[in-house]
Structure 1
């Protein structure tokens, strides 16, 4: 501050210099504060989500059968899901068979299936028995076995009724047979598609199980990147923090050095101009000296000529010629005070002062690096502790369990691939057997249809029953064959129906229906399984598989789905304030002293002030006046007077005067060609020098103002700037950890392990089990049972209708209500 006070004493512009400099310093400080920036690293907004395969169910084409089958099964089993019975069965295993009460409850629940099974068994038992007795009766001529048909008035009506009844029944069986073919094809497609869908589902689970640890590691690795970034910034603290400090000094120092550079330039220009002025004056004096010598010589000759006695009348001319201006000597004063002031400024060596300030400015980064070396090393050690603390996330989150599950999934995946070939072989056999069943049913349908076509085609109602055509007789035979095949195979097919009904129906009732409406998950929630998993994970909140499934359907992260906040305190793990506070404390305790620099010493300021005053003392009027005086000299006028005087004297004297007049004209020509240009050049140099000196005052004033403001700025704000920029640099580095912690919390709690693939896997499993296999299986036994049920009216109608087409052995004639029966004659037996 003493330097500033001395500066105020040296330079006092109009107004209050202290207030002006304070204003300038405040403006400089504001500009420097506005230039500080902090570029923070930007953490990724979202983690990379894995790509999953599409497990959308393919249409099996049996959608029309599903409502029919499900409606029948709901009728057979209208009771709700037996959650308590299943739980008791699970809890009492393996003593289930000894628990009579539990068996009774299960039988009561399955009463609908038992009734249907009893009906099926009755069908299985009675159908072959009825067929056997019917066959025996027909062989004995009863039950339609007698080849005789009584003719009545309603025979045509009965035949048509039986025909249409048989046709409708056959068409119904044909529709069921078509459904059998379609359901068999759908079941084959389902079995073929099941390994593909299972593989896709397992692949999705495997991808999910692999992605979760990878995403956790990505979050942790991002902390390593953050720590590495901060470490790099600490290693480069000199360039980074030093550059920011430099930016704060740039404006005041630039504004201080700019007029100094201008002053140095102007001083150099003045020095050059002074040299040019001195050189011009020397040349002018040399030229005027020669001209003055010539003038003096001519003037002496003129005086001798006029003093010559022979010059008659010259005495009268001598006074006039003596008064002529023949003096051309130049006595122009050289500005020595200005020259001495300029020399003093040159000796100050302003470029060296500028270079000193620039060296101070350029040395700031290295000074910062040297003073913070120990602090940087300690901070890097603390960053290693931060890295170790954040890496604990991978150990606290139970990722090893996911690895084990992933291994199990891989093992299941391999087993599926290994048994796929065997499954395809078994499926091929099953498909062949079912095709055979369909073909047998189709055989019955074909027999009935052939009978229904050939019978009417070859029948003549008016013909004698004993004389019916072969076509009609074949039609009747096909109808009997259809009934025979029905009796022969229907009971066997009903065994298949009953077995598939018990398996497929119960799977739908006990698995698919509760799976679809969520009862199965509630059963799992009620079991000990969820409790065991909760205890295994060490959670306080009991896991609910229903809630997990709903959360996964909404694609929520595993953090909220599995309540992982009970396993790991994420806020505590990501809270690195203990280490950051130590780093902050070390920063605050680290002093970065910048050497105090004096921009201009008091002696320099005094010399500049003296230079300014001396530059203002340059008087160019005397120089200009002498230049004008020399410029007004005209020797031609004197020469003219000599020529005039020569006419008034004798010839010899006149000749001398004319010669002297000629010499004056030559001198005048020399003045105009040499002296006058030098005078003009000198005049231009004087004006240029005067213009330069007039600027010196303003330049020196600007130098003193700006340098004073900059010196005040440095003296009062250097420590503040260093501390402020150090704090901003520290806040910038610690801001990396704040940003990372916020991003890590957001990523782990909202992005990591979005479990929609798990819900998709359960949905895909439901599709594979229920929509693919069970639905196709239920459609097949329903279609087959449909056909078996309508085999009964088909047998009755076809057997009764067959008699109207077959050829009878005995005739019965109906005429006007009198029936004539053919009575065989008695024949005498000849022994």
Structure 2
């Protein structure tokens, strides 16, 4: 069971189709399948997850300024999210006009904004009034309008103080102005990119909604593929189960059959050796007989010559003449007995003897197929029932709600595409206005900088104020222009700040801040807040489904099963419980039995013949033949020929020449023996040794055949039934394990992989990014930067007007002389008055 389950570590793309995936594995799964006779096919590891493209682009250029804005807004509005106030307003919007206590609470909650608005209104009212009075007063020659500058000893120090103070204020205003440019551009980029980001998020959401039914269908369809695969396994049961049974027999049956085949081949080889040996022996005997005839002729002649009376001392060779013979007959009785035993084995035809065993072995798959036909058919019926049992899962899931949501997403995308061009035009107008405001503030900054630079370059402290240079005078005029522009535009810009400040500030404090800390979603989850909106009932749930819960779970990319409490709709354990079908298949298996006929590896008659062959191979003795061969190799006619020759030297010429002639013939016969018979004898001795080794080998092989045949026969007699039953049970368990492993995989897919809902959280995050992070923060950064500049315009006006008099050309002069008592210190005598500056 566990072996098949391990194959399901590589699940496929679906939610209910795991039986086939157990058949389909990677390398480790294939090893298991090899053991269980279940073919494996490679599959994907997990169900296919959609590819999402949503990337949230956040403005990061003004994050430091945004931190200042957040701190300022938290100071202005430190109170938590007013859930109760919103609930009362949503329940009865009309009470805003009649309920004074509610209005008081709202004003109390907004007191920080009200104070800032009051300050802004005061700025708007006082700035033009002050500007008017200053202008009128200067026109009347007052408030610095009188072109006369009193010269004192602290004039230079005061001028430097005013200079550096105005320089610092100008740098501060410039920093705010740069932030205005940056935030204005960021706001434009945010508005322009918002449709794309929202469309990407909605497209991912649509992809998610479409993919969930597809994932469920893929899993359910996977069950069909699994059933088809198991059905193919059952149709191929003869091949798969039969081969496994064959493999169990191979360990004992194959060695026995191979040893029988080896004995047959060795018998044929030995017979060929015996035939060749007999032929060689006959050829040797023929050579011996021919040589014997030649020796007899020479011996008769020598005997006749030695009997002549004139022959001196010839009686001494009479005994040698009797020994001069080659009458040898090679005995082959033991060879004939051994050959008859070998021929008897060959005639018995060992290969035909084991054909029954091979037939038994080769017909096992066919036998399995025939005797499991009814089991296969009933199992197919149960597999079809399993498929029908799994199909209602898709019907019980609330997939129609996803279709409705998908249509809504498409409509939203269409609306964004439709209205974006108009929004883009309005944004271009807003951006142009904002850019103009930035340049006006920049104009004030430029006037200050030009006044500071030009005034400093043209100033000569020793020159009389009425004689100041044109450059110095221009510097003072630039400073007065800065003050004039400030009075002219600052109160108008403050009106814009006063409009944007409560709008952007309240959006941050009432929407963005509670959105980030989760209070807004919790507020939306308030029961009865939206009477016609109940997310849980939309999906057919019994419990209330909180948006905050959905967002948190989807943020962690959890599946729909736990996020939407789908286990309340579907009892997955019951839906995937197919044990009654597998139990029925198991029951049908118990009724089926595969019977293999008994077979004898070797018949009793063949065993008797093999025993007889082994006995004759043991009795095979080549000692006599070998001794005869050695006797032949010891023949030496040259000795007798030498004696005859020596004797001929003592005889008269007639006898002498006759004896020498016969001596020469003996030597020639000896040479013929050495050239013809000796090689034949040597080859025969080698063949006899080989045959002796073959007889011993056959004896051993016969013993091995008898032993292995007996082991195989005992194994077949005692284990055939158990092997068939064990392998059949293993094959069926593998198929059933596919089903069991499938249910586990399907449960894992449903509860952990189907509908990973991170796109839902991304949609929320995209709205947060577009509305709060990019748009609202950029808007707040803009009005904060503008307000920053406007507030520092007040000291800028004061310092620029004060400093301008030190650069402008005066109409009246005032000479300051510092008379001191002269003394004898030379350096003191060289001291001159400071003059005007």
**Same fold judged by TM-score > 0.5?**
yes
Quote how far apart the aligned CAs of 1:239 are: 2.9
Structure 1 residues 691 and 87 mapped into 2: Cα distance closer, same or farther (>3 Å)?
same
Aligned partner of 2:616 among 605, 614, 625? 614
1:214 Cα deviation after fit: 4.5
Structure 2 equivalent of residue 330 of structure 1: 329
Pairing 1:361–2:366 present: no
Deviation of 1:808 after TM superposition, in Å, equals: 9.9
Question: Residues 451 and 476 of structure 2 are in contact (CA less than 8 Å); yes or no, is this contact kept in structure 1?
Answer: yes
Q: How far apart, in 2, do the equivalents of 1:686 and 1:148 lie?
A: 150
- Work out whether residues 40 and 732 of structure 1, in 8 Å CA contact, stay in contact via their aligned partners in 2: no
Q: Distance in 2 between matches of 1:120 and 1:435?
A: 22
- 1:254 to 1:180, Cα distance in 2 relative to 1, 3 A: closer
Higher mean C-alpha displacement, 561-570 vs 208-217 = 208-217
Return 407-416 or 38-47, whichever deviates more: 38-47
Partner in structure 2 of residue 731 of structure 1: 733
Q: Is the 8 A contact 2:36 2:734 kept in 1?
A: no
1:407 matched to which residue of 2? 407
Given the superposition, is the C-alpha separation of residues 102 and 348 from structure 1 closer, same or farther in structure 2, using an over 3 Å criterion? farther
Q: Which residue does the alignment assign to 1:770?
A: 772
In angstroms, what is the RMSD of aligned CA positions?
5.0
| Partner Cα distance (1:511, 1:522) in 2 | 12
Name the counterpart of 1:13: none
Counterpart secondary structure, 1:600: coil
Partner residue in 2 for 1:267: 267
- Tell me the distance in 2 between the aligned counterparts of 1:671 and 1:634: 9
Shift of 1:461: 11
How far the C-alpha of 1:715 sits from its partner, in A, is 1.3
Deviations 1:137-163 (A, max 9, x none): 888x69869979898999979996996
Question: How far apart are residue 595 of structure 1 and its match?
Answer: 2.9
Structure 2: distance between partners of 1:162 and 1:653: 170
Match of 2:582 in 1: 580
Counterpart in the other structure of 1:782: 784
Indicate how the Cα distance of structure 1 residues 470 and 220 shifts in structure 2: closer, same or farther if over 3 A, else same.
same
Alignment of 1:253-652 (within 5 A): 253-287=253-287, 324=323, 326=325, 328=327, 330=329, 332-335=331-334, 336-443=336-443, 488-528=488-528, 532-624=534-626
Structure-2 change in CA distance of 1:429 and 1:311 (3 Å): same
Counterparts of 1:565 and 1:406, CA distance in 2: 23
Do the aligned residues in 2 keep the contact of 1:181 with 1:435 (CA within 8 Å)? yes
Shift of 1:693: 2.9
SS in 2 for 1:64: helix
Calculate the TM-score normalised by the size of structure 1. Answer: 0.77
Q: Is the 8 A contact 2:244 2:727 kept in 1?
A: yes
CA distance in 2, matches of 1:662, 1:259: 59
Superposed, 1:675-690 pairs within 5 Å as 683-690=685-692
Q: CA deviation at 1:678?
A: 5.1
What is the deviation of 1:742? 3.5
| Aligned 8 A contact 1:148 1:812 in 2 | no
Residue 654 (structure 1) shift: 9.8
Q: Identify if the C-alpha distance between structure 1 residues 347 and 127 changes in structure 2 by more than 3 Å, giving closer, same or farther.
A: same
Q: Structure 2: which 5+ runs fail to align? A: 1-33, 818-837
Q: Cα deviations across residues 207-235 of structure 1 (Å, max 9, x unaligned)? A: 44445445445544554554444344334
**In structure 2, distance between residues paired with 1:146 and 1:297:** 177
Change (3 A) 1:142 1:285: closer
1:31-51 Cα deviation digits (max 9, x unpaired)? xxxx95656747644445544
8 Å CA contact retained: 2:58, 2:773: no
SS in 2 for 1:551: helix
Aligned to 1:5: none
Assess if the C-alpha contact under 8 Å between 1:149 and 1:812 holds in 2: yes
Residues in 2 aligned to 1:146 and 1:521: alpha-carbon distance in whole angstroms: 62
Matches within 5 A, 1:750-829: 750-789=752-791
| Aligned residue in 2 for 1:704 | 706
Q: Distance in 2 between matches of 1:776 and 1:507?
A: 12
Distance of 1:679 and 1:795 partners within structure 2 = 141
CA positional deviation for 1:599: 0.8
| 1:423 positional shift | 2.2
CA deviation after TM superposition for structure 1 residue 433, in Å: 1.6
1:545-585 CA distances to partner (integer Å, 9 max, x unpaired)?
33333333333333333333323333333333333333333
Q: Distance in 2 between matches of 1:276 and 1:301?
A: 38
Q: Is the 8 A contact 1:163 1:452 kept in 2?
A: no
Query: Cα distance, 1:707 vs. partner?
Result: 0.4
Q: Which position in structure 2 is the counterpart of 1:820?
A: none
Q: What is the CA–CA distance in structure 2 between the aligned matches of 1:722 and 1:755, rounded to whole Å?
A: 51
Q: How many Å apart are 1:510 and its aligned residue?
A: 0.2
Question: Per the alignment, do residues 319 and 547 of structure 1 end up closer, same or farther by CA in structure 2, a change over 3 Å counting?
Answer: same
Aligned residue number for residue 16 of structure 1: none
Pair 544,637 (structure 1): closer, same or farther in 2 beyond 3 Å: same
From 716, 719, 723, the equivalent of 1:717 is 719
CA distance in 2 between partners of 1:697 and 1:646 (Å): 59
The DSSP-based 3-state class of the residue aligned with 2:534 is helix
Tell me the number of residue pairs that the alignment of Structure 1 and Structure 2 aligns: 778
1:11 maps to: none
8 Å Cα contact 2:151/2:816 also seen in 1:
no
Deviations 1:95-135 (A, max 9, x none): 76566654443333223333433444455456556767887
CA deviations on 1:260-291 (whole Å, 9 max, x unpaired) are 22322332233223323443444455555556
Question: Shift in Å at residue 301 of structure 1?
Answer: 8.0
Range with bigger deviation, 41-50 or 253-262: 41-50
Partner Cα separation in structure 1 for residue 286 and residue 464 of structure 2: 171
Structure-2 change in CA distance of 1:99 and 1:401 (3 Å): farther
Provide the residue aligned with 1:825 in structure 2.
none
Contact 1:307 1:315 in 2 (8 A): yes
- Please give the residue correspondences for 1:167-182 in structure 2 after superposition, counting only pairs within 5 Å: 176-182=176-182
**Partner deviation per Cα, 1:706-754 (whole Å, 9 max, x = no partner):** 1000111111111211222222223333333444444443343333443
Pairing 1:178-197 to 2, within 5 Å after superposition? 178-197=178-197
In the alignment, the residues of structure 1 paired with residue 345 and residue 592 of structure 2 have an alpha-carbon distance, to the nearest angstrom, of: 42
CA shift, 1:669, in A, is: 6.4
Distance 2:480 2:635 in 1: 164
Offset at residue 499 of structure 1 (A): 1.6
SS of 2:582's equivalent?
helix
**Residues 452 and 475, structure 1, Cα contact 8 Å, conserved in 2:** yes
CA pair 144-714 structure 1, distance change in 2 beyond 3 A: same
- Separation of aligned partners in 2, 1:446 and 1:689: 123
1:346-366 deviations in Å (ceiling 9; x for gaps): 221012234443343333333
Q: What TM-score do you get using the length of structure 2 for normalisation?
A: 0.77
C-alpha separation in 2, matches of 1:468 and 1:623: 153
| Equivalent in the alignment of 2:27 | none
**1:326–1:635 CA contact under 8 A, matched in 2:** no
- Which secondary structure does the structure 2 equivalent of 1:526 belong to? coil
Q: CA deviation at 1:73?
A: 2.3
Distance 2:277 2:287 in 1: 15
Residue segments in structure 1 that go unaligned for 5+ positions in a row: 1-34, 817-831
Alpha carbons of structure 1 residues 143 and 220: separation in structure 2 relative to 1, 3 Å: farther
Distance 1:711 1:783 in 2: 102
User: Are 1:162 and 1:797, in contact at CA under 8 Å, matched by a contact in 2?
Assistant: no
Structure-2 separation of matches of 1:157 and 1:651 = 175
Offset, 1:252: 1.1
Give 1:653 deviation, angstroms.
9.8
Q: 1:443 to 1:275 in 2, by over 3 A?
A: closer
Q: Which residue of 1 aligns with 2:12?
A: none
Asked whether the equivalents of residues 291 and 326 of structure 2 are also in contact (C-alpha less than 8 Å), the reply is no
Query: Greater CA deviation, 269-278 or 297-306?
Result: 297-306
1:244-259 correspondence runs (5 A): 244-259=244-259
Q: Deviations over 1:162-196 (max 9, x none)?
A: 96787777766555444433432332233233334
2: distance between equivalents of 1:114 and 1:687? Answer: 127
